Structure 1
Amino acid sequence: MDYPRREQTYDAETLLGSGLIFQGWVLAKEGATVRPYIRLNSKKYYLKINLSRPDVIRRVLNEESKGHPRLYCGFRAAVPLNSDTCFFGFENNKCDYDTMQIFIEGSLKIIEGHDGWLFLDNDTNQSVEQFTGKLLLDWREKRAWYDYLDSLSKLAEEYLSAHSVLIAPSKEMVMSDYYPHRKGSTTPVEQVEKLADKKHNVVHPVKRMQASKDRVFRVCDTHWTHKGAQCGLLAALEVLGLDTVAVASLFSDDKFREVVRAGDLGNKIFPRRTARELIPNGISYRQWVHYDNHLPNMGRVLITQNKEALVSAKCLIFGSSSSYTMLDYVSRIFSEVIFVHSAGNIDVTILNQVRPNYLLAQTNGRFVIRAPIVGYRLEDEIEKKWAGLNDKEREEIIVSQGQWIEKWSKDTQLEYSYPLIIFFSVQNT
């Protein structure tokens, strides 16, 4: 077998469309009828031996290839794949001999749990080791967590802001019935819960989400569903002192529609895996966006304004990827929402600029092996992110910033100019 070779890289479109190329050669004993094949699921695809291979005749038989009776001993064919596993083998005297198993691995290693549920595997945060209790926080990291929680609590008191620390549970913590590994006696996130004082207002709503009648996580994604985000947000709002009955009533008439989506896990395996999911119908935080710097992930800043919101107040969120789903809800609760994608790290300069009524730090359960910090600098994050963008990405973002300036100059004063000033000071350097 010449091809495929170990560790070759392909895109899914090629594998599903034109197919994977299988090339090799066969030299059978005289009189034998050998037929190479690819076995894919329950089907066999025979590979015709009709390719001239003078190199084989010279090197294997050590004979002159020109005019040799066994010159056409090679095969080459492209077989479209619809599975991540296939077999290469030979049929001889009506018997099949599988000689090679071929695996197609996605760009991310995935655990397939029960009933098709997908989970992270071998990720940088070592999710499996955290869940099984093999990876725990040492005394230094526990101290770092306590210092973070204590500093945040004091800052909130100084700025007269109600605050909460929301840890979005890892998928395996909530959907453990579908997860193939057994939970350890304790985990890093449970260590954080144990060391936190009551004044630290840590919320990790695992039991609340497990008790929900709605599906709270996506089948092919690491993130919670919109219903899961609402469940987690309500738990945090209780700590913030809001009337959660009134808030829940605000969402009681929400309509949902069914879509088929792959997600961050389903998109990174082969073949691409999808599942049916429910998303809000006609409701999106985008309709209230007042500013968006459009930077990918860390360093992104979003501001929403909604005069018809339930509460006339400012809410500042230092959040992570799970916060985006919450924005569809939180933008209807608070008249002003300032979201900074920082994974729970706190930029005191922004806190001083905004002086929110409510402060929410949000991180994801699998991130807790590294404590967030108070003393984070958004400016440094934007500078790093800007340096990593290509020319096309930079141009698109610069154009979007110009559109926001034009909109703001017509609609309102630049009350929250700090993120915008940071962006342009970085971009101009």
Structure 2
Amino acid sequence: MGSLLESNAAAAVSEPSSQERVERLIAQQPQAVVALLEPGFRAGDDSRELLMLLSRAYAASGSRERCESVTTLAVQKYPDSLAVRVAHAESAMACRDWTAADERWRVIESGWDEFSDFIFLRHARVCVERDDLEQASTLLARFLRYRPGHAGATALQDIVASRRAKKYRVELVKIDEASPLSLELAADQRRIGNRRALSRISVEATMAASAPASLIVRRGEAAEAYPMVPASQGHAEALEGWRFSGQLELTPGAEIGVECSGVEHWSYRLKLEPVMEVLVGQQNWLFLANDVNASIDLFTGQRLLSQEERQRWERFAEGFKALQRERSLLFLIANAKEKVRPERYPYDKADVTVTEQVKAIFEAAALEYLDPLATMQDDAASYYPTDTHWSGRGAYLAFRDCLRRFGYDDDVDSQFRFVAQDVVGDLGSKIDPPATSATTVVSFIGESAVRRAFANDIPGTGNITMFTNELARYRKTLVIFGGSSVGAGGFARLFAYLFQRVVTLNLPGSYVSEVVELERAAHVIVQTNERYLTQAGKLMESLDEANPVAIGGKLAPAAKAELKANLASQPVAEPYFSFSQAILSPPERS
């Protein structure tokens, strides 16, 4: 074996075509490859081929420091080699030096016009480790433009989204019981939120002292003072001491105290306590918990529609029914997972939930709607353990039911096939380490010419995607207004295999006349997720009513810049282009 190893490795150095053989040997016997190559390296052979092979052998054998040393030498000697630069970045990742890895991937992305799109994916993994979630999201979006549906990238995307949305509760831990400062969270701050929402907290502080006092905040080595005002100011009764009421910019671990007469008293430490976001049900099925829509309360009937919310739905139903008299228009409810699989859920369903209330309003108005709950419950593969959304199979079932409601009775089952695939999912990504489960992926069997004609790639609300298909069975246009379930399982894309043009807008429960009239849509679907039914649907005349400025306010500046550059490369399709620009433009200063 040794002679074979030696001959193959030697050949690989002189014959690039033989390199694949040595790569296999590196994976199988890295120490033997190191023993073979090191003498030549020590004798002065610093050819690019030898350095690259030796670095891989060091990495495979666990000699990370030696790998880093060799790749650093290779960069110094061959700075213009892309392969060497990639090995240098991979070496930093192996050493878990995420700062160095980030810098090295950036050098490649800015210094080379052409490189593998997988570099975006590798860099995104580094950014996740560095907790730079905005940059990770941007890199993943770039990668998925080239490789839509890539399992590894979509799994990482779920992890990024989960971390960005991870919920915390603010706690103030007293670190000095003798401190004269009394500090409480303001009433509006006693809530659950993500890190970004909780970066500014509202506090109310009082201090019993005759001399003027200041509230002080320490973040690491830096400290900042906030003047306190006499406690009697603004109160009906005179009080002794000083007070502060307002917002503070804080980071976890920051300390809060008071300074009076030149003496500092450090009294409290800020703590962000993670909040349980996932319920583990029967057979390890995962469900939402502590989400902003209060899924548990919705299922158990603790959260029902108020009178005002009922009236909003009644007005919507009246207007929607009037539109249905004029065109083919369907309201689609994407079922909550706990409704589809109640036997897996740890709570008992109430007889009446918000869903039943909304459906009663629809039925009273004779509004055409689709609640595919029974269909989903009858198919074990419609939902899966680690995600809130339907699977590819579930998306297909909803797609087929919509077709039937629109009057198409074609047998489409023979045109699609389903395969199993392990994925993380939006709930699995909230578990550490991430949990995976098998889902079904649907694909079209027949000849297809589906392509994305326009996509602004804005995450979540405001996303617009347009599909065209010159080989479509139906020379018609379909418009879908909906939420995250429109993309889940490939729901919207399924229609694109049959219709000549499909336009989707992420505006859950909304209908925009401007879009429907412009597209001369033969059919329109207005979709919303079941847990959103506390919010009545909206009937809008134009996209401007969707408030693009407010949508854009949720995006970080770096993400906006990336998306704006992508938008500039898109064909100008109005009004979608202008709407997207309004989302991505910085707000006007007053």
TM-score, length-scaled by structure 1? 0.67
Measure, in 2, the Cα distance between the counterparts of 1:112 and 1:286. 42
Q: Of 326, 330, 333, which aligns to 1:164? A: 330
Q: Distance in 1 between matches of 2:584 and 2:289?
A: 37
Counterpart contact for 1:166–1:362, Cα < 8 Å = yes
Q: Which amino acid aligns with 1:167?
A: I
2:470 paired residue number: 307
* Closer/same/farther in 2, CA of residues 426 and 270 from structure 1, 3 Å limit: closer
Q: Does 1:343 align with 2:508?
A: yes
Q: Is the 8 A contact 1:305 1:331 kept in 2?
A: yes
Report the Cα distance in structure 2 between the residues aligned to 1:217 and 1:350, rounded to whole angstroms.
Answer: 31
CA distance in 1: counterparts of 2:496 and 2:445, whole angstroms: 11
Within the candidate set 373, 388, 400, 1:206 is matched to 373
Q: Residues 370, 385 of structure 1: CA spacing in aligned structure 2 closer, same or farther, 3 A cutoff? A: closer
The one of 414, 419, 429 aligned to 1:252: 414
Cα 1:390/1:135, change in 2 over 3 Å: closer
Change (3 A) 1:241 1:347: same
Structure 1 282/373 Cα, relative in aligned 2: closer, same or farther at 3 Å? closer
User: CA offsets per residue over residues 31-76 of structure 1, 9 Å max, x none?
Assistant: xxxxxxxxxxxxxxxxxxxxxxxxxxxxxxxxxxxxxxxxxxxxxx
1:299–1:154 Cα change, 3 Å:
same
Distance in 1 between the 2:498 and 2:330 partners? 16
Q: Deviations over 1:205-253 (max 9, x none)?
A: 11121112x411121110000111111222223222222xx1xx33424
Note closer, same or farther for the CA distance 1:303–1:112 as it changes in structure 2 (3 Å cut): same
- CA gap of 1:194–1:153, structure 2 versus 1, over 3 A, is same
> 2:583 & 2:282 partners in 1: Cα distance?
47
* 3-state SS, counterpart of residue 252 of structure 1: helix
For residues 206-355 of structure 1, the aligned pairs below 5 Å read: 206-212=373-379, 214-243=380-409, 246=410, 249-280=411-442, 287-324=450-487, 325-355=490-520
Q: Where does residue 97 of structure 1 map in the other structure?
A: none
Q: Give the Cα separation in 1 of the matches to 2:510 and 2:567.
A: 24
Q: Could you tell me which residue of structure 2 aligns to residue 148 of structure 1?
A: 316
1:273 to partner: Cα distance: 1.2
Question: Structure 2: how far apart are the matches of 1:225 and 1:311?
Answer: 25
Q: Distance in 2 between matches of 1:353 and 1:163?
A: 16
The 1:237/1:144 distance shift into structure 2, 3 A limit, reads farther
Asked if structure 1 preserves the Cα contact closer than 8 Å seen for 2:422 and 2:438, the reply is yes
Q: Which aligned pairs between 1:15-414 and structure 2 lie closer than 5 A?
A: 109-157=277-325, 160-197=326-363, 199-212=366-379, 214-243=380-409, 246=410, 249-280=411-442, 287-324=450-487, 325-375=490-540, 378-379=543-544, 380-405=546-571
Q: What is the alpha-carbon distance in structure 2 between the residues aligned to residue 311 and residue 105 of structure 1?
A: 54
Deviations 1:365-409 (CA, angstroms, capped at 9, x unpaired): 11101112112753344322334433432232222222222xxxx
Cα deviation 1:84-138 (Å, max 9, x = unaligned): xxxxxxxxxxxxxxxxxxxx98665111000010001111111111111121112
The corresponding residue for 1:423 is: 580
SS in 1 for 2:570: helix
Q: Which runs of 5+ in 1 are unaligned?
A: 1-10, 15-103, 406-413
1:312 partner amino acid: R
What is the aligned residue count? 314
Structure 1 residues 139, 219: closer, same or farther in 2, change over 3 A?
same
CA shift, 1:194, in A, is 1.6
Contact 2:450 2:470 in 1 (8 A): no
Structure 2: distance between partners of 1:105 and 1:233: 41
Rounded to whole Å, the distance in 1 between the matches of 2:419 and 2:583 is 41
Distance 1:107 1:310 in 2: 49
Name the one with the larger helix percent. 2
1:153 to partner: Cα distance: 2.4
1:241–1:426 Cα change, 3 Å: same
| Matched-pair contact (CA < 8 Å) for 2:386–2:425 | yes
Greater displacement, 323-332 / 165-174: 323-332
Look up the equivalent residue of 1:340 and give its one-letter code. L
Superposed CA deviations along residues 249-306 of structure 1, whole A, max 9, x for unmatched, are 3342433333221111111122321112222357899952110011111011111111
Query: What is the rounded CA distance, in whole Å, between the counterparts of 1:180 and 1:239 in structure 2?
Result: 34
- Give the counterpart letter for 1:208 in structure 2: T
What amino acid is the match of 1:420?
F
How far the C-alpha of 1:418 sits from its partner, in A, is: 1.0
For 2:414 and 2:275, the matched residues in 1 are separated by 40
Whole-Å separation in 1 of the counterparts to 2:367 and 2:348: 30
Mark the CA change 1:148 to 1:281 in structure 2 (over 3 Å): closer, same or farther. Answer: same
Q: Structure 2 length as normaliser, TM-score?
A: 0.50
Ranked by relative contact order (alpha carbons within 8 Å, sequence separation 6 or more), the top structure is 1
Q: Is the 8 A contact 2:449 2:471 kept in 1?
A: no
**Aligned pair in 2 of structure 1 residues 152, 286: CA closer, same or farther (>3 Å)?**
farther
Distance of 2:374 and 2:440 partners within structure 1: 22
Q: 1:180 to 1:424 in 2, by over 3 A?
A: closer
Alpha-carbon separation, structure 2, partners of 1:382 and 1:148: 22
Q: Which runs of 5+ in 2 are unaligned?
A: 1-126, 131-271
**Contact in 2 for aligned 1:152/1:374 (Cα 8 Å):** yes
> In the superposition, relative to structure 1, how do residues 226 and 286 fare at CA in structure 2: closer, same or farther (>3 Å)?
farther
Structure 1 counterpart of 2:367, one-letter code: H
SS in 2 for 1:166: strand
Moved over 4 A (4+): 11-14, 104-108, 281-287, 425-429
